Amino acid sequence: MTLMTDRIELWRAPLVDGPLSRHRDWGAAVRIAAVLGSVQPDTAARTQVVNESSPMVGRAYLPAYMAVRQGDRIRCGSDWYEVIENPEEWRVGSRAHVRTVVQEVADDG
């Protein structure tokens, strides 16, 4: 069984100075890569359940060579996710991959 069968886009936005703090300018984001990967729901990764409309927390699985950073965004189909934890590299045999925790975000930034 193959885990990474969905088209995934990795996006990165520059940090800009705002009136109170620095933030990512998603209007100026660039696509870093388009690869096969997977985003799976992960209820164990959710730290606090507010209600059933809370953003989905999941795990993204990407090819081992991907340079994913906390704060990047991942697009899978029409859904957008933000990388909320530092990615972990898994280099075991033929199933080497990058795994990270993501949270669903609105696609308007």
- 48 in any annotated domain: yes
Residue-wise pLDDT tens for the chain (109 aa)? 467 889 999 999 999 998 999 999 999 999 999 999 999 987 665 555 555 667 788 999 999 888 899 999 999 999 999 999 999 888 777 778 899 999 999 755 5
pTM: 0.82
DSSP letters along 64-93, please?
A: TT----TT-EEEETTEEEEE-S--EEE--G
- CATH number for the domain that contains residue 101: 2.40.10.270
Residue 80 structural domain: 6-105
- 59 in any annotated domain: yes
- 90 in any annotated domain: yes
Write phi, then psi, for 81 (nearest 5 degrees). -135, 145
- 57 in any annotated domain: yes
- 99 in any annotated domain: yes
